[in-house]
Amino acid sequence: MKEVIVSGMRPTGRLHLGHYLGVIQNWVQLQDKYDCYFFAADWHALTTKYDKTEDLRQNTLDVIMDWLACGIDPEKSVIYVQSLVPQIAELNVYLGMITPQNWVERDPCLKDMAKILKSKDGQGQQINYGLMGYPVLMSADIMMFNADCIPVGIDQVAHIEITRDIARRFNNLYGEFFHEAKPLLNHCSLICGLDGNKMGKSFNNDIKISDTAEVTSKKIMSAITDRSRLRKDDLGHPDECEVAFKYWQIFGSEEEVANVRCECEKGLRGCAQCKRQLGDKINEVMAPIREKRKYYEEHPQEVEKIIQEGSAKAREKAQAVLNEVRKLVKMY
């Protein structure tokens, strides 16, 4: 029996290279070793965007097409949409009943989200009941498939801690049933944005998985380089080249990186030329992924089939767990 992995993303639109290198590549690797469940967390998107749902469907499709393009394989993993598995909502009810209010109130991730919402950026939005329930719903996502490991970023670990507490409480109250899921931190290299800050869609410093080669090349030309370098034959300092050289280290071969370093340090390589080559390099690496993305864009009925079949598989598994849960809680 393989261990079970569950992980999800809120469908906020097309994904960028930070998602690819930091999360999806890791998921792709895990597919062979675990029973994997990957889902678009559209209910979680509603916790803050309940008033802006016109893009929700397209965003969900975009996220899933990005996954498929990157190598998430519907033959190996269950790919589904959270709201197409209503069993999760029922489990959420049971878990909500056994979760003390102060467990959610002290969730640091939630505190951060609340701060952003109340600030000007969030236009002073109030915190709704659903948002308070974020960690409980996330626990339902995880416990729905009795998951063992959750691949997440460090920012989500506090949520997984609450999930473990809820699982333990359920087991104490109703009988041993749920595994205590462990976070599986990935140690992938983090890619920064074109301006040297964290890559993020709202910072306008990202390269999308689905960007064309032309767009990618153009964006790369705006990447920060060694700021002390004014002319192209000035001696460069690759280690102070905040973005371009770091990208080379991610996308280039060892030999290419050594060559860039050497030419840069000797003043034999201008930054513009260097970034033109870098753009070509990234496009070369991304080409097969983008081709696959385009294929799915042109075959929406195939994507729809993958989503519907994955969600049906997820519902079947979820119902089996729910039947057990109902029995343990002693529901009618």
Q: Which residues bind ligand TRP (CB under 6 A)?
A: 6-10, 41, 44, 138, 141-142, 150, 152, 156
Q: Smaller CB distance to ligand SF4: residue 255 or 298?
A: 255
Which position among 65, 149, 162, 260 is part of the footprint of ligand SF4 (CB under 6 A)? 260
d(CA 207, CA 19): 10
Query: In sequence order, what E strands does the chain have?
Result: 4-9, 35-40, 78-81, 149-152, 182-185
Q: Least distance (Å) from ligand SF4 to the CB of residue 263?
A: 7
Give CA angle at 201 (70, 51), nearest 5°: 105
For residue 184, give every residue at least 6 positions away whose Cβ sits within 8 Å of its Cβ, in sequence order, or none: 5, 30, 149, 150, 151, 152
List the x/- string, 215-234, binding to ligand SF4 by CB under 6 A: ----------xx--x-----
- C-alpha span between 211 and 38 (Å, rounded): 23
Question: Which of ligand TRP, ligand SF4, none does 269 bind, CB closer than 5 to 8 A by kind?
Answer: ligand SF4
Q: Is residue 264 near ligand SF4 by the rule CB under 6 A?
A: yes
Instruction: Say if residues 112 and 142 touch (Cβ distance below 8 Å).
Output: no
Choose from ligand SF4, ligand TRP, none: what does 156 bind? Cβ within 5-8 Å by kind: ligand TRP
Residue closer to ligand TRP (CB basis): 191 or 264? 191
The CB-of-272 to ligand SF4 minimum distance in angstroms stands at 8
Helix (H, G, I), strand (E, B) or coil at 117: helix
Q: How far apart are CA 137 and CA 41, in angstroms?
A: 10
Q: What would the two tokens of residue 32 be?
A: 């062979």
- Residue 9 contact among ligand SF4, ligand TRP, none, beta carbon within 5 to 8 Å by kind: ligand TRP
Give which of ligand SF4, ligand TRP, none residue 205 binds (C-beta under 5 to 8 Å, depending on kind): none
Tokens representing 247 are: 């990208």
- Write the CB contacts of 69 (distance below 8 Å, at least 6 apart in sequence): 209, 210, 289, 290, 292, 293, 296
Contact of residue 44 among ligand SF4, ligand TRP, none (CB under 5-8 Å per partner type): ligand TRP
Q: Which residues contact 328 (CB under 8 A, 6 or more apart)?
A: 174, 175, 177
CB of 15 to ligand TRP, least distance (A): 12
Please, what is the minimum distance in Å from the beta carbon of residue 193 to ligand SF4? 16
10 binds, among ligand TRP, ligand SF4, none (CB under 5 to 8 A by kind): ligand TRP
- Which residue ranges make up the site for ligand SF4 (CB under 6 A)? 225-226, 229, 236, 238, 241, 244-245, 260, 264, 269, 271, 274-275
